[in-house]
Amino acid sequence: MGIHSERSRAVFLDRDGVINRTVVRDGRPYPPANVDALELLPGVAEALARLHDAGYRLVVVTNQPDIARGTQDRAVVDAMHAKLATALPIDDFRVCDHDDPDGCDCRKPKPGLLRQAAQAADIDLGASFMVGDRWRDIEAGRAAGCRTIFIDYDYNELRRHAPDVIVRSLAEAADWILREGKA
């Protein structure tokens, strides 16, 4: 008798505004400048622990265009992810360090980061979720075939398409995923 292995399910997470606090200027969110400025949002550790315990792979998918723009070092971004990895049960970090003019396939709203992670870990995108606080996150999740959860902070920007659900925190998103994701 062979052992049947099931494809895994994942929760894809934007980083800034979903896991850690952003700096909001003129109604727009910006990432922390360095590791010392990296601050987890309330309830994040508990929400991720519940999702992890329910069998979801946790994958951060984040645009970091400031690397391409020369205003952030990749080493600083990697150090932030190392700090997050020691505090949270995150399985993988996927980073797009390009800017829009680069035309890559990994910059959200394109689904490249999600597809790369799915291929690497045999993730069933149709059984997975994308959680984000920007329209680009929702578009990437939709394009990859995931259900989408939008954390609404009332940023001053348009939404292109409606997500599957709108929540106010990652804890609320986790509650919804754990209800909706039952087989």
pLDDT digits (tens, 9 = 90+) for 104-148: 999 999 999 999 999 999 999 999 999 999 999 999 999 999 999
pLDDT at 10 over 80: yes
User: pLDDT value at position 28?
Assistant: 85
Burial of 74-98, coded b for 16+ CB within 10 Å and e otherwise, reads eebbeebbeebeeebebbbbbbbbb
Q: What is the pLDDT of residues 72-102, one digit of tens each?
A: 999 999 999 999 999 999 999 999 999 999 9
Q: Which CATH superfamily is domain 10-180 in?
A: HAD superfamily/HAD-like (3.40.50.1000)
DSSP 3: P
| 107, two tokens | 């910059």
User: pLDDT value at position 3?
Assistant: 45
DSSP bridge partners of 57: 10
The domain limits of the chain are 10-180
- CB-CB contact of 127 with 147 (8 Å): no
| 47, two tokens | 């929400």
| 86, two tokens | 């020691």
- Whole-number Å distance between alpha carbons of 26 and 127: 36
pLDDT at 155 over 70: yes
pLDDT at 160 over 90: no
- Sign of the torsion angle spanned by Cα atoms 71, 32, 94, 28: negative
Q: Going along the chain, which residue ranges are E strands?
A: 10-13, 23-25, 28-30, 57-63, 92-96, 129-132, 147-151, 165-167
The reported pTM is: 0.94
Residues forming the active site: 14, 16
- CB-CB contact of 131 with 16 (8 Å): no
Mean pLDDT of 19-39: 92
User: pLDDT value at position 27?
Assistant: 84
